[in-house]
Structure 1
Amino acid sequence: MTRTTAQQMRAWTGPAILTYGFRPFFFGGAVWAALAMVLWVPMLSGHILLPTAFDPVSWHAHEFLFGYLGAVVAGFLLTAVPNWTGRLPIVGWRLGGLAALWLAGRFAVAVSAGLPAGLVALIDLSFPLVLAAAIGREIVAGKNWRNLIVLGMLAVFAAANALFHMEAARGGYAAQGTGLRLGVGAGIMMIAVIGGRIVPSFTRNWLVKRGGGRMPVPPMQRFDRLALLVLLAALLLWVALPDSPATGVALGMAGALHVVRLARWAGHRTFAEPLLTVLHVGYAFLPLGALALGSEILAPGPVGMVAAQHLWMGGAIGLMTLAVMARATLGHTGKTLTAGPGTVAIFAALVIAVFARVAAGVLPGEAALLYAISGLFWIGAFATFGLVYGRLLLRLPAAKRF
């Protein structure tokens, strides 16, 4: 007999965290983002040393990009794909198995100094490969061909992780290698494609309820496709030729186009609801990062390439994922889609963390202090998310328990 999503979830009698994909991966990703930074700050100052084969900066970069972002992408896709395809979600021990693969990757990388590099890569890559196979099966079975692009971006993200492992195993500085740039590029394209759908749509829905006024331009118009193509070209150049003037020009063009794209979404009308405003702010870090990186390539300035890159990694990826996790958790647990004081504090802390990290590039004499401030606010943002949203992610509402 065919069952609905709700019936399948009610039939599961195990831990509540395994009733839907967003639960284990949003909670696990947030906890790991905070814990990894708790480890990273004393690693940076030389007070602790993890038994990892990666150099400290490469471990930090890998665990944010492929560890944290990998978890959030999994939580989002495992929740969104059933809505896209009309098929049942992965729940129960199958979902638990995916979460266990992700955890195994975090442990293997952390203790990789005592393991063969190939084994570490195999353990870490098993999660994105199994996830891609599961998502691909659902998209094909549901004949949801328009979202094959999402599967393609996930495949590129997994390939970037494999390349990162290869570069680290060869003794290279993987934190500034091709694998990292490819992974960041895949993450930025996910934000551009998926964010380009949900930000104007959510904004329109909210504004319609408030009545009248200027509305966002509908998503994926001709201009949007042009902006995405230019961004894709700029990212490919950045991955392959990060120091080329052509890359700087392309990133500048992409940044300018995405400033215009964002301006078409009526974000200035959303200030009454921070849960919606933060989506616009998070997306704004995409063109800001592109413009900063392009400027640094064409005319190296006081910010520095690494600090500019954090506008993408900490700003665009960090803030957009927090915003999506908060909204999806509230929506799928039956709560009102509004940001309370705790949620606003989470978003504010993350923004402070990003700008403190960028300021460290501008003020090298104060870098140690600014790194510490950035790390503390980053920990505060994700630890607070775990506290505020953990009660929603780890247990079912009373009405769902029967």
Structure 2
Amino acid sequence: MATTAQQMRAFTGLSLFSAGFRPFYLFAATWSALMVPLWIWIYSGGQTVALRIDVAWHAHEMLFGYICGIIAGFLLTAVPNWTGRLPVTGVPLALLFGLWAIGRLAMLSPAHDGLTAALADSAFLCVFAVVIWREILTGKNWRNLQVAVMVSLLALANIAFHSGETQVTIRLALGVILTLVALIGGRIIPSFTTNWLKKAGMALMPPAFNRRDLLVMVMTAVALLGWGLVPASPWSGGALLAAGGLNGWRLSRWRGLATRKEPLLWILHVGYAWLVIGLVLLGLAALGQAVNPPGAVPMQAGLHALTAGAIGVMTLAVMTRSSLGHTGRPLTAGRGTLIIYLLVNAAALVRVGAALVPQVYMSGLILSAMLWMAAFGGFVLVYGPRLVTARRRA
């Protein structure tokens, strides 16, 4: 059977729909670049004629719009490599992407909390979950059943959001996404690092995934579940701190410092470091809220270290690397890519800083939104032409 790369090269239709990463990376990044500054403008007092945008809308579109779009692009490209089955391309891919786009339009409508908008928005993740289950079960890829389970949980969480359970749902959905980051990151970071270190002639390699990594994964998932259900608790706070420490230990074994000369690698290590920082900050915030008076670390600091930091940096790291590889470009970060990496980390730093220093909160939000827009807009400008044109021939 032909490899996934060979199947992509043999595709004769519209290049944009020759692989899942192409439409989803391009338009999810575009949506991210537009959605965050739109939210900040309205939050800071801007007016709209018809839009009804609030905190719940912002959280929903970050998780179920932008991030789930990136997850779809990644999995639609990765799953065929895992299963050996044909990738979803052409009309089926265009229809699946269309469901995602319809969901974004539905959530922009003034009646986005109505039944019609809820059905339109929920359709994408439900269909996407079915696609992933079909591919993994048909391909007998039992190792990745947990990925299908997580996608299904996201679909259920989105439905629950539209039923009115917004706060708990958002926290639980974020927990699922962060667990997925820890799972996928724990596979690709040591693997890519090992390959690069071997080429560089180095002897000491990151350890392979083992039972200790599995225990860290379980601890992380349990801690995030506990926080999702009871956010202000000494138990959830302690569990989050423990998960942060364990993931920090895990990261320390992957030889990140040895990759400092290769941006496509060190950005993955930096993204995982944001996960560690975010879990610790969120744990401190949960502990602080359980006492009177509350502690010094606000929940927003931990939340945005995890969202703008861990998720923002990791998604751009994966998007740039896989876009280069799957469009036939060398796995080398050019100047534009390096600028994108610096911008998204700066956006995360400023956003976390704004939460920690109330005196500069509003100005920090605005600056962070501008940096975020520049990072994801930069991805669209640099990688957009590569995503809509045919793969380069070897």
Same fold (TM over 0.5): yes
Match in the other structure for 2:374: 380
Aligned AA for 1:297? A
Match of 2:224 in 1: 235
- Partners in 2 of 1:207 and 1:296 — Cα distance? 38
Q: Percent identity?
A: 47
Q: How does 1:3-402 map to 2 (within 5 A)?
A: 5=4, 8-9=7-8, 12-49=11-48, 51-52=50-51, 55-111=53-109, 113-114=110-111, 117-167=114-164, 174=166, 177-219=167-209, 221-299=210-288, 300-399=294-393
Give yes or no for contact 2:219–2:243 (8 Å, CA) kept in 1: yes
Runs of 5+ unmatched residues, structure 1 = 169-173
* 8 Å contact kept, 2:205–2:255: yes
Could you say which residue in structure 1 is the equivalent of 2:291? none
Letter in 1 for 2:42: M
Letter in 1 for 2:143: R
CA 1:186–1:334 in structure 2 vs 1: closer, same or farther (change >3 Å)? same
1:337 CA drift (Å): 1.1
Q: 1:110 to 1:236 in 2, by over 3 A?
A: same
Return the offset for 1:166. Answer: 1.8
1:34, 1:383 within 8 Å by CA — same for their partners in 2? yes
The normalised TM-score by structure 1 is 0.93
Shift of residue 161, structure 1, vs aligned partner: 1.4
Q: Within 1, Cα distance between the matches of 2:295 and 2:361?
A: 16
Report deviation, 1:398. Answer: 5.0
Aligned residues between the structures: 389
Paired residues of 1:303 and 1:358 also in contact (CA < 8 A): no
Q: What CA distance in whole angstroms lies between the structure 2 residues aligned with 1:271 and 1:398?
A: 28
Contact 1:85 1:138 in 2 (8 A): yes
Judging changes above 3 Å, is the alpha-carbon distance between structure 1 residues 301 and 340 closer, same or farther for their aligned structure 2 residues? Answer: farther
Whole-angstrom distance in 1 between the partners of 2:39 and 2:94: 28
> 1: CA distance between counterparts of 2:147 and 2:7?
25
Structure 2: distance between partners of 1:360 and 1:163: 31
Q: Is the 8 A contact 2:4 2:84 kept in 1?
A: no
Quote the Cα distance in structure 2 between the aligned partners of 1:90 and 1:163.
28
Q: Which residue of 2 aligns with 1:171?
A: none
What CA distance in whole angstroms lies between the structure 2 residues aligned with 1:115 and 1:267? 44
User: Deviation at 1:4?
Assistant: 6.0
Q: Secondary structure at the match of 1:130?
A: helix
Is 1:163–1:178's contact at 8 Å kept on the other side of the alignment?
no
**1:29-81, CA deviations, whole angstroms, 9 ceiling, x for partnerless residues?**
1101001123112111221337455x522111111111001110100110001
Contact 1:30 1:386 in 2 (8 A): yes
Structure 2, gaps ≥5 residues long: 289-293
Would the aligned equivalents of 2:32 and 2:373 in 1 still touch at CA under 8 Å?
yes
Cα distance, 1:12 vs structure 2: 4.2
Q: CA deviation at 1:194?
A: 0.8
Equivalents in 2 of 1:133, 1:91: separation in Å? 16
Q: Residue type of the partner of 2:47? A: I
* Structure 2: distance between partners of 1:375 and 1:28: 18
Cα distance in 1 between the residues matched to 2:197 and 2:287: 40
C-alpha separation between the residues in 2 aligned to 1:8 and 1:279? 28
| Counterpart AA for 1:361 | A
Is 1:50–1:110's contact at 8 Å kept on the other side of the alignment?
A: no
SS of match in other structure, 1:167: coil
Displacement of 1:270 in angstroms is 0.3
**Contact 2:36 2:369 (C-alpha < 8 Å) held by counterparts:** yes
Distance 1:278 1:10, change over 3 A: closer
Distance change (3 Å), C-alpha of 1:345 and 1:145: same
